[in-house]
Structure 1
Amino acid sequence: MFFSAIATSSAVVVANPSSDEVVVITGTRTERSLLDVPVRTEVVTQEQIANMHARDLEEALKNVPGLNLVPIHGKSGSEIHIQGIDGNRVLVLVDGMPVSASTGSKVDVTQIGVSNIKQIEIVKGAVSALYGSEAMGGVVNVITKPPKQERDLRLTIDGGTYGDHDVSDALVNDSSYNVFAHQKVGQGYFQFSADHRVKGGSDLDPSTYVFECDEGTKTNLSLVAGYEFDNGGRIKLIPSWYREDISKDYEEFSPGVGHLYRVKEEVATRANVSLHYTGPVAEWGYFTGYYIHESFEDDTNKDIKSTAEIEDPRSAKIQSNKADAQLDIDVLDNHLLTIGTVAYEASLQQRINGKSELDKEKVERDNIEFYLQDAILLTDELEILPGFRYQRDSDFGSHFTPKFNLMYQPEVLAGYDFKVRAGVGKGYKVPTLKERYFVFDHSAIGYMILGRPDLQPESSTSYQLGFDMSLSEKVRIDVNFFQNRLENLITTDRDALLSERLALDVFRYTNKAKARTQGFDSSLALNVSDNFTSNISYGYLEAVDRSTGKTLSRRPEHQVKLKLNYTLPDWRTTFTLFGRYESESYADGDNKIKSEAFTLFDFKVNTWVTDNIKLFGGVDNLTHVVRDTPATGSDFRPAKGRFIYAGFTYQY
């Protein structure tokens, strides 16, 4: 039967996985082989994360074709852009559960550690019926390690320096510590993971007061208590906690006052607890469900150094509850029907100097969603995947979004493992609580940002068409064409009348923009020999504001990513060179200011001294490509220079 065939296609990801051994879940929310899933999915494996020495999710994703990691304006950390669609419209998940966005805006991927990651799965575009309103641009799903082994222990420590650009005076400027431990006890098991990153800060021009990159710490802790039933069902309880404590010196100009020397201090904490259950229902189905409660708090101070008091103490608190229940039903021999429902509620509080910045003390919203998808094997060559999602929001009523995917693998090209995947889907996103109610009063330095309660939802249509094939045992190619058309986009716009009346720049969130992003991603994997492998990808992006005809800012037209991997088996050593090129991009909506193109290289070395101990090191930003100083806000080249580091891993 179809469901049984999918279930038995699962495979454990081994140390050197080939594509047909990798099992993914994000595109269909059922386990499928990577090569046989109808929704195009890209994967970063545990081995790849370890070999690139990634310290957080940002570093784990930076070499994925078609993805851009972009600093979040006014915040520490980075957001994900997929196919030219920004991080406010990209859904980030951990084991299918959403990660809350920083202060109700965008998910900061530097807040997610890597110690317990099995793999990362990426689905681009709004083509899956299984995900909600935040997934207009796509989905990034972090899959954590399953309880496959009796016991497991892994410890990694590394540290390094920016040389003359270190802010701290310590020998080691930046360091990272992570540990993962797993132990089975009968049919139960426990897992503990921890990531602690120490940032000393980096400064492109040590002669000035300002430095570019924050100093401080970021810490993730997670505990899993699970139990496996005789019928294959599994239940687990997961409490987790995150904290960042960071600061940065910066400078602002105040009209009539002059230059103000400030320090921004920020403490953010995220605490959540979740309960999962997965297991068979008789012989005809499979149930998956979870409940998660999360609280995210963010406290910032922007202190003027020349005054005794602390200015602008600001606090934000987001609380949310979400429950998801899904049933996969095996229908006849060629259908797998997926039915699910989601309930969600959230609240936002925002204060400055103890006073609410919102139009009311606390704002809230809730919604309930229903989704259905049917995986149908029409023939041995053709599988189709129709589906839809229905959403009813407390503030915006009901909405229906259809989706359709297919995979065609012609028998005549079976020798090349040739597959065509196509998808089309409607996207829909309601305004965030921040966009509707936020009041960001920075009038002391000349501007203010106001929410707009009457904002309307955004919508999109996404088209995806791609193929992949093996030209030989050593050569594989992958090409995907895309177009995303977005309507009613929420942007900030200057309110001329209010600005004139208040004698400062007043910006309001507004439904204004229409956009189109289109292009293609392509990659070529070449195994030159058993010891030498390579992968090169090229992405082309055209991102246009359809209201003005102008190119969207911070969207490079061309992107190239390169990986060269050489292994010395007798030395148990691997050398890897990563390269990334981004073409110039506009820094403003009027297309008058450009940021320069740039090329980066990272070099990595991994050596297994014994079966349990690995020594590693590397140089990030090998050629020290950085933006000009002082920064103007229109130079998107790296703010971090050359970083030299070393470390070790112990595993048992």
Structure 2
Amino acid sequence: MSGPCTPQSSLRRSPLPAPHLQLRPWVLLLALLLATGAGAQSSDGGGDGLVATTGAGADAGVSSEPSVPAPEDARPSAGTVITGTRLPRPMRDVPAATVVIPRAEIERSPTLTQDALVRTLPSATTFRRTPSLVSDPTAQGLNLRGLAPSGVARSLVLLDGIPVNDPFGGWIFWRSLPRLGLEGIEVVPSGSSALYGSAALGGVVQLVSRTIDRPELAADLAYGNLGTGFLAARAADTWGPVRASLETELLSSDGYPLVVASQRGPIDTDTPSNHAVLNGRVESDVSEALHVFAHAGLFRENQNGGTRSTTARVELAHFGAGARLRTEGRGTFALDVYGRLQRFEQQRARVAPDRAFESTAASQDVPADDQGALLVWTAPAWAWGGTHVLTVGADARRMAGTSQERLFPPEPAPASTLLRAAGGTQLSGGVFLQDLYTVSPALELSAALRMDLWRNTQGEQHVERASGDVETTAFDSRTEQQLSPRLGVRVRPVNWLTLRASGYRAFRAPTLNELYRPFQVGTVLTAANADLRAERLWGAEAGVETGLFQGLTARVTGFWNVLDDAVTNVTLAEPLPDGTTRQRQNLGRARVRGVEVGVDWRLSRRWTALLAYTFVDPTVLLAPGQPELVGRQLAQDPRHRGTAIVSFEDPALLTATVQLRVTGPQYEDDLNERGMGGYALVDVAASRHLFWKLDVFGAVENLFDREYLAGRAGVDTLGPPLTARVGLRLRDVP
């Protein structure tokens, strides 16, 4: 969860307004810019892929031979995915339901930030529905299929196989992941601990970088309302067997007034933010059998939550290296090592009831670091009643961090807390085994099993009182383990029909943040809990995908998950002595079931469409000590989410995308006392070729300037208003 600069994720139903007059200058400017390219011809081809897909369409034939996965060191190519099995596979052959956003659709998306892009998939959301443009990372936890949303991601986010979840809180620094260097985004929205361990409780989202195979230069430059300026650039080159790339992204925004007008006071202002990213990568083919690489990056982000004393800051440095070795008869070996150093700072405010004045309530400084390694061996395919591909892997990770907090009570008493420091170290490791068994082109079975072990150690809380007293509490070291199986089957009785089913067990160990760090959102204080246990999940999914008509793919997937001991922010019957009204607790049991429906349709060479809908029924089944929660809907979890996207691409005319995003009603709190209505947003983007490799583009999010609530944590806060930008794009100059 977040500090005060993060709005709550709640909605209020309101009538859809007509377009505001302020839209007209942007529409006119966009039309003028597009008109300047009249008659320009593009040297590039037509469209290349749908907005999101889970498999090849009806034109994908069935081979007469079993589909054998590529070795682990191979990168996914067009039509393949890697996340669901850790091996590049044709998308239609993967037993787990998988969704992909290809590079072409990333470029066409109207969204500005990476988290907003991922949220265009109805099954993928972040805890807060305000974007990372105004919400710091502690409120941007990834949630798939409505699996108990929280500030901590219950799903794993990878960049080329390396976890990017924050080592202290499991947070996602979305703005540190620039999209210009991405080939695609893969989403596997089901329990994946059997292959990836902790954090993959609810699934995996993997960002796949573009390959470096030739000299390239690409750039985006844009400016928009809300004082938003954006610059991104990527350069790549090759020198014989050596290849390198460098990318950067800069963004600055003045933000918008976060608090609703009726509650806004003199202290409330806009929410300015900025960030800078610099990433580099070097790789080399030492020989035909050995490939090595190294990468590093820097990231900085500054945010203001709408008042002088609500701020957040992130500084991050990450690094890594790896090697891939192919052998003739012993398979493929892949080794990755990685680490990061980071610092998260947050300042919280004490606000008067009429919001006429504020004072600093607390400031936090959270330094953290982690180091990890991963070794995977993929055996040569072998025949025994079909084709088997065996994968064996082991990984280990060390995570450490401390929350250093200074508090400023308005009227200090001798017992008042002035300084509080809490943190520790978490050591984790696991081994896994997977067998992909292709019986025939029509039938494939998969089985994976993983054993994880983790240990929380060196946990300590240090408190200094106004009286001068010092209290130090050392928390006992704790060790837990988990066995995570997964079984899957893919059946294709005829070319146009694919059936998938899988069952799994998954888990998530509590983060150092949940164990030790208290936090505040608005006027609500939530305490940490050093006695938290791991969350555990049993689940299953089954689905059907059809490609009966040329260019049309339809799919339906049903899922059923039971989450035990979910780490949840529970409202206490009586506040704690310091005024805390909530505490992190293992809730008991929750059932999350639902269905996903999607249709990808290439209407013609120029027109593509996508319709996607996710229904989720998230219900508390068991809550020891909190019987009033039984039968309640999980907080921050709407039952209905949908997306409709239509894209048009004609190189001689323009490229355009219109998308509708709909979110249903939900509850702000665990007691379901703060109900909110849903909302619908329309986004548009268009680009036109000018000359050479230069395009002009424009994008608008929330086209009709729909006003909707994003939170009610003591004060009602708003989601983003209409945001528009126009710019120039330099496309892949060789």
Q: Which interval holds the TM-score relative to the shorter structure? A: 0.7 to 0.9
1:325 pairs with 2:378: no
**Which residue is equivalent to 1:198?**
252
CA apart distance, 1:225? 1.2
**Which residue is equivalent to 1:391?**
452
1:24-173 equivalent positions in 2, closer than 5 A: 24-71=81-128, 76-77=136-137, 78-85=140-147, 86=149, 87-101=152-166, 104-127=169-192, 129-148=194-213, 150-161=214-225, 166=226, 173=227
* Greater relative contact order (CA < 8 Å, ≥ 6 in sequence): 2
C-alpha separation in 2, matches of 1:628 and 1:133:
33
Q: Check conservation: 2:79, 2:90, Cα contact below 8 A.
A: yes
CA apart distance, 1:451? 2.4
Q: TM-score, normalised by structure 2?
A: 0.78
Assess, with a 3 A threshold, how the Cα gap between structure 1 residues 195 and 155 changes in structure 2: closer, same or farther. Answer: same
**Which residue is equivalent to 1:620?**
701
**Which residue is equivalent to 1:346?**
399
CA apart distance, 1:11? 8.7
**Which residue is equivalent to 2:317?**
271
Deviations, residues 190-231 of structure 1 (Å, cap 9, x unaligned): 110111111111126687445586312111111101111332
- Name the amino acid aligned to 2:489: L
Deviations, residues 442-461 of structure 1 (Å, cap 9, x unaligned): 9xx97653322222111001
C-alpha separation in 2, matches of 1:513 and 1:210:
41
- Name the amino acid aligned to 1:641: P
Assess, with a 3 A threshold, how the Cα gap between structure 1 residues 35 and 350 changes in structure 2: closer, same or farther. Answer: same
1:175-190 equivalent positions in 2, closer than 5 A: 175-190=229-244
Q: Check conservation: 2:247, 2:280, Cα contact below 8 A.
A: yes
Matched position secondary structure for 1:58: helix
- Name the amino acid aligned to 1:296: Q
Matched position secondary structure for 1:623: coil
**Which residue is equivalent to 1:596?**
677
- Name the amino acid aligned to 1:198: S
CA apart distance, 1:358? 4.1
Matched position secondary structure for 2:104: helix
Assess, with a 3 A threshold, how the Cα gap between structure 1 residues 622 and 54 changes in structure 2: closer, same or farther. Answer: closer
CA apart distance, 1:598? 1.0
**Which residue is equivalent to 1:517?**
592
Q: Check conservation: 1:429, 1:458, Cα contact below 8 A.
A: yes
Assess, with a 3 A threshold, how the Cα gap between structure 1 residues 453 and 503 changes in structure 2: closer, same or farther. Answer: closer
Matched position secondary structure for 2:309: strand
Q: Check conservation: 1:491, 1:512, Cα contact below 8 A.
A: yes
C-alpha separation in 2, matches of 1:90 and 1:11:
22
Which sections of structure 1, spanning at least 5 residues, go unmatched? 14-20, 167-172, 251-261
C-alpha separation in 2, matches of 1:557 and 1:439:
29
Which sections of structure 2, spanning at least 5 residues, go unmatched? 1-64, 408-417, 456-477, 623-629
Matched position secondary structure for 1:134: coil
**Which residue is equivalent to 2:327?**
281
Q: Check conservation: 1:79, 1:109, Cα contact below 8 A.
A: no
CA apart distance, 1:498? 6.2
C-alpha separation in 1, matches of 2:193 and 2:67:
19
**Which residue is equivalent to 1:646?**
726
- Name the amino acid aligned to 2:400: S
Matched position secondary structure for 2:565: strand
**Which residue is equivalent to 1:566?**
648
- Name the amino acid aligned to 2:620: D
C-alpha separation in 2, matches of 1:621 and 1:439:
34
CA apart distance, 1:188? 0.4
**Which residue is equivalent to 1:357?**
420
C-alpha separation in 1, matches of 2:611 and 2:268:
34
CA apart distance, 1:378? 1.7
- Name the amino acid aligned to 1:107: I
2:531 to 454, 461, 477: 454
- Name the amino acid aligned to 1:639: G
1:402 to 485, 490, 493: 485
Assess, with a 3 A threshold, how the Cα gap between structure 1 residues 511 and 213 changes in structure 2: closer, same or farther. Answer: farther
CA apart distance, 1:512? 2.0
Assess, with a 3 A threshold, how the Cα gap between structure 1 residues 634 and 506 changes in structure 2: closer, same or farther. Answer: closer
Assess, with a 3 A threshold, how the Cα gap between structure 1 residues 265 and 337 changes in structure 2: closer, same or farther. Answer: same
- Name the amino acid aligned to 2:644: L
Q: Check conservation: 2:299, 2:316, Cα contact below 8 A.
A: yes
- Name the amino acid aligned to 1:245: N
1:545 pairs with 2:620: yes
C-alpha separation in 2, matches of 1:506 and 1:371:
41
Matched position secondary structure for 1:133: coil
CA apart distance, 1:53? 4.6
Q: Check conservation: 2:279, 2:295, Cα contact below 8 A.
A: yes
C-alpha separation in 1, matches of 2:441 and 2:73:
16
1:222 pairs with 2:279: yes
Which moves more between the two structures, 96-105 or 449-458? 96-105
C-alpha separation in 2, matches of 1:311 and 1:294:
30
Q: Check conservation: 1:11, 1:22, Cα contact below 8 A.
A: no
Deviations, residues 112-159 of structure 1 (Å, cap 9, x unaligned): 2212111111011114621111111110111111122x2111011111
1:22 pairs with 2:67: no
Q: Check conservation: 2:350, 2:361, Cα contact below 8 A.
A: yes
Which moves more between the two structures, 342-351 or 103-112? 103-112
- Name the amino acid aligned to 2:329: E
CA apart distance, 1:79? 3.0
Assess, with a 3 A threshold, how the Cα gap between structure 1 residues 58 and 122 changes in structure 2: closer, same or farther. Answer: same
Kindly tell me the number of residue pairs found equivalent between the two proteins. 611
C-alpha separation in 2, matches of 1:234 and 1:8:
12
Assess, with a 3 A threshold, how the Cα gap between structure 1 residues 533 and 447 changes in structure 2: closer, same or farther. Answer: closer
**Which residue is equivalent to 2:513?**
434
**Which residue is equivalent to 2:689?**
608
Matched position secondary structure for 1:493: strand
CA apart distance, 1:638? 5.6
- Name the amino acid aligned to 1:617: G
Question: What is the root-mean-square deviation of aligned Cα atoms in Å?
Answer: 2.9
Q: Check conservation: 1:494, 1:505, Cα contact below 8 A.
A: no
CA apart distance, 1:506? 4.4
1:632 to 690, 708, 712: 712
Q: Check conservation: 1:199, 1:217, Cα contact below 8 A.
A: yes
Q: Check conservation: 1:426, 1:460, Cα contact below 8 A.
A: yes
C-alpha separation in 2, matches of 1:551 and 1:434:
25
Assess, with a 3 A threshold, how the Cα gap between structure 1 residues 437 and 308 changes in structure 2: closer, same or farther. Answer: closer
Q: TM-score, normalised by structure 1?
A: 0.87
C-alpha separation in 2, matches of 1:448 and 1:54:
33
Q: Check conservation: 1:68, 1:82, Cα contact below 8 A.
A: yes
Which moves more between the two structures, 87-96 or 53-62? 53-62
Matched position secondary structure for 1:471: coil
C-alpha separation in 1, matches of 2:656 and 2:574:
60
Assess, with a 3 A threshold, how the Cα gap between structure 1 residues 56 and 421 changes in structure 2: closer, same or farther. Answer: same
Assess, with a 3 A threshold, how the Cα gap between structure 1 residues 454 and 12 changes in structure 2: closer, same or farther. Answer: closer
Q: Check conservation: 1:407, 1:420, Cα contact below 8 A.
A: yes
Assess, with a 3 A threshold, how the Cα gap between structure 1 residues 650 and 496 changes in structure 2: closer, same or farther. Answer: same
